[in-house]
């Protein structure tokens, strides 16, 4: 029996375990990436482990989330990141060089290698044939020491693409279609491998749009074959020596298959407040807009921005509408400028922002009160844009540009004849803002500003856990809900005690005071708790506030791992009705915790308030159980 592409790459990197669905395996990691919003935590943890130099083939530290240097805390973080990179053998991408995923795709991605990143959209590089996985910061820190990354062997899903995209239909519409079909939890425990004749019409930037938003499906990652189109892309980047041909065997088997006929697709849009709340653009056409933002790691490539410029050339944006673009990288900005597209955008009235994440994580461009924002981004969870009462729609750059012409949501097909952009033969490549590590690390002094604090730890888990249910939450709680992004909060990403003040700020402003008053307790939630961003702060802040366990119907993959690494016990309710039998304020008690964890047994929770017993399951692997018993990953690593 032949192998699929995922099996080939995972098998080549297998360190422990067997590739059987659900069984935990350890895989070697070739490359890592971090970004500044998570990176300080990663490197503080790496330093704590005590390894003198990274042991990966390549590690890169990017500054792309909070580039504005609006405070000394922000600026100090960047000095720390640059000096720690220089000392430990890590490349440093300076502020303004671009979004980590776009830059990594351009300058570092290698087909067939593995990439682990402290950002959920690390999956972007799957568009170039990598197994690229988003993870918590502590997992990335450990991978940089040369240790394996552990995960349950996912199911492998073939997404067979047939036909060809019609005019004005884009790669963004393919992934929005899949989100509508499978929902934000449809990819949990799965890797999506794309195949079929339809992939031949998708360039690497288009493929990467799809793999980027595979994170919104909850997937472990997504991957395309490395083929002639991959070679052409790498050649344009002057990196053709990195190319290898990789694909599935003709008789490869898959756990599941999904078929999409590209001929049947039309322009799609995700309505507020979830990426899977998808309908056709026609269904919401005419909705008045206050703002349009184009960019993010999803749709900020040269191809994307050239298409937008072509649509807007000679047009004028309505005076009541704000339109911004965020180029994905300095390379993208230089190339659209060279081709004259930057001038077209400026003349149309577009505001050109720095190559960075920017509005996607609430760093500026907050919509007005009750405003409607149309974004060529990947997430539209309530509050992510910096405003809890705004409505954010997600669409392709082409739909965004068409809407920028009219001031209302507009089907790009209404523009008539499809646009055509001149293809490049070679990108202008300029790596001046990528700083290599120091040749003599002994001469590097790591600089730490006063806002950079040690990572808080907790001791080994006790045999009895008790306390109140501090908050009861519904389904689909994202890490943006747990700990928001935005200018106010991102400043404190290096300071867990300070950032913990913002925990559940948009959901329940009284949570922090209640947690402190009750000296910690429990969190109760519904389905897919912790979806979205990989930020481990959403686990570290509750840990700092005394949260002992989280009880849910189901977890999102990365957040569950972050809870374990922080020493918080992740528990799944065994029976659906149990959720309704627990309320905020109920006093819970768990006994025999350590024995149950060691032996993999279910736990019985006594709801003292209601005098009821409820069964929960930890579902920990042997390794995860040891981490929880030790009180978190750093304690576990310290034990040797």
pLDDT, one tens digit per residue, over 155-173 is 999 999 999 999 999 999 9
Q: How confident is the model at residue 99 (pLDDT cuts 50, 70, 90)?
A: very high
- Structural domain total, the chain: 3
Domain assignment present for 275 = yes
Confidence (pLDDT) at 42: 97
Shared domain for 300 and 206, answered yes or no, is: no
Q: Which domain holds residue 567?
A: 464-638
Domain assignment present for 43 = yes
Domain assignment present for 330 = yes
Burial code (b: 16+ CB inside 10 Å, e: under 16) for 79-110 equals: ebbbbbbbbbbbbbbbbebbbbbbbbbbbbbb
How far, CA to CA in Å, does 226 sit from each of 125, 285, 470, 606? 11, 38, 49, 54
Shared domain for 151 and 171, answered yes or no, is: yes
Low-confidence winner among 68-77, 131-140, 327-336 (lowest mean pLDDT): 68-77
> How confident is the model over 257-309, as pLDDT tens digits?
999 999 999 999 999 999 999 999 999 999 999 999 999 999 999 999 999 99
* Average pLDDT of the chain to the nearest whole number: 96
CATH of the domain at 397: 3.30.499.10
Shared domain for 589 and 620, answered yes or no, is: yes
CATH of the domain at 580: 3.20.19.10
The answer on pLDDT for 640 being more than 80 is no
Confidence (pLDDT) at 104: 98
How far, CA to CA in Å, does 618 sit from each of 21, 41, 570, 574, 603? 19, 26, 6, 10, 8
Q: Which of 247, 264, 281 is the last residue of a domain?
A: 264
Domain assignment present for 143 = yes
Shared domain for 236 and 292, answered yes or no, is: no
Domain assignment present for 437 = no
C-alpha 109: how far from its chain's center? 17
Q: Which of 215, 243, 264 is the last residue of a domain?
A: 264
Confidence (pLDDT) at 436: 98
Distance CA 258, CA 394 (A): 23
Contact 386, 366 (CB under 8 A): yes
């Amino acid at each position: 029996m032949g192998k699929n592409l995922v099996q080939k790459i995972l098998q080549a990197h297998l360190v422990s375990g067997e590739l059987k669905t659900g069984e935990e395996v350890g895989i070697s990691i070739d490359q890592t990436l971090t970004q500044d919003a998570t990176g300080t935590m990663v490197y503080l943890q790496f330093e704590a482990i005590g390894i003198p130099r990274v042991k990966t083939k390549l590690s890169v530290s990017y500054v792309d989330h909070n580039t504005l240097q609006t405070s000394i805390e922000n600026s100090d973080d960047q000095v720390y990141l640059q000096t720690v990179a220089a000392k430990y053998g890590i490349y440093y991408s300076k502020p303004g060089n671009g979004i980590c995923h776009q830059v990594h795709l351009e300058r570092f991605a290698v087909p067939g290698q593995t990439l682990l990143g402290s950002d959920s959209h690390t999956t972007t590089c799957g568009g170039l044939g990598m197994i690229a996985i988003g993870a918590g910061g502590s997992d990335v820190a450990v991978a940089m020491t040369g240790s394996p990354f552990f995960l349950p062997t996912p199911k492998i899903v073939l997404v067979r693409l047939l036909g060809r995209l019609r005019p004005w239909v884009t790669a963004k519409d393919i992934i929005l279609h899949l989100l509508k079909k499978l929902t934000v939890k449809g990819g949990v425990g799965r890797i999506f491998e794309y195949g079929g004749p339809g992939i031949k019409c998708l360039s690497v930037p288009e493929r990467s749009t799809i793999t980027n938003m595979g994170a919104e499906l909850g997937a472990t990652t997504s991957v395309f074959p490395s083929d002639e189109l991959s070679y052409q892309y790498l050649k344009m980047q002057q990196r053709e020596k990195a190319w290898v041909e990789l694909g599935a065997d003709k008789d490869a088997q898959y756990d599941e298959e999904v078929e999409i006929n590209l001929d049947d697709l039309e322009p799609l849009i995700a309505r507020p407040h979830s990426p899977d709340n998808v309908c056709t653009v026609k269904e919401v056409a005419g909705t008045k807009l206050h703002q349009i933002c184009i960019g993010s790691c999803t749709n900020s490539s040269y191809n994307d921005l050239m298409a937008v410029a072509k649509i807007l050339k000679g047009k004028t944006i309505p005076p009541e509408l704000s339109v911004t673009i965020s180029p994905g990288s300095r390379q993208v900005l230089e190339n659209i400028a060279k081709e004259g597209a930057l001038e077209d955008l400026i003349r149309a009235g577009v505001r050109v922002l720095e190559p960075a994440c920017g509005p996607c994580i609430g760093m500026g461009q907050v919509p007005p009160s009750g405003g409607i924002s149309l974004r060529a981004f990947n997430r539209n969870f309530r509050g992510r844009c910096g405003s809890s009462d705004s409505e954010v729609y997600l669409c392709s750059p082409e739909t965004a540009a068409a809407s920028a012409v009219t001031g209302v949501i507009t089907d790009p097909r209404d523009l008539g004849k499809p646009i055509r952009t001149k293809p490049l033969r070679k990108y202008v490549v300029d790596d001046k803002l990528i700083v290599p590590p120091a040749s003599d690390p002994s001469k590097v002094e790591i600089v730490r500003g006063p806002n950079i604090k040690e990572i808080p730890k907790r001791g080994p888990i006790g045999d009895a856990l008790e306390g109140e249910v501090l908050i009861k939450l519904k389904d689909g709680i994202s890490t943006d809900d747990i700990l928001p992004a935005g200018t106010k909060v991102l400043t404190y990403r290096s300071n867990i005690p300070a950032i913990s003040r913002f925990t559940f700020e948009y959901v329940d402003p009284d949570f922090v005071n209640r947690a402190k008053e009750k000296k910690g307790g429990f969190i109760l939630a519904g389905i897919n708790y912790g979806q979205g961003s990989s930020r481990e702060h959403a686990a570290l802040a509750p840990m700092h506030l005394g949260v002992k366990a989280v009880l849910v119907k189901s977890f999102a993959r990365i957040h569950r791992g972050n809870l374990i690494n922080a020493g918080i016990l992740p528990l799944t309710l065994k029976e659906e009705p149990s959720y309704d039998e627990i309320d905020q304020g109920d006093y819970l008690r768990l006994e025999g915790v350590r024995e149950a964890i060691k032996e993999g047994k279910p736990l019985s929770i006594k709801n003292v308030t209601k005098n009821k017993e409820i069964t929960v399951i930890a579902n920990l692997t042997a390794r995860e159980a040891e981490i929880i018993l030790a009180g978190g990953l750093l304690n576990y690593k310290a034990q040797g």
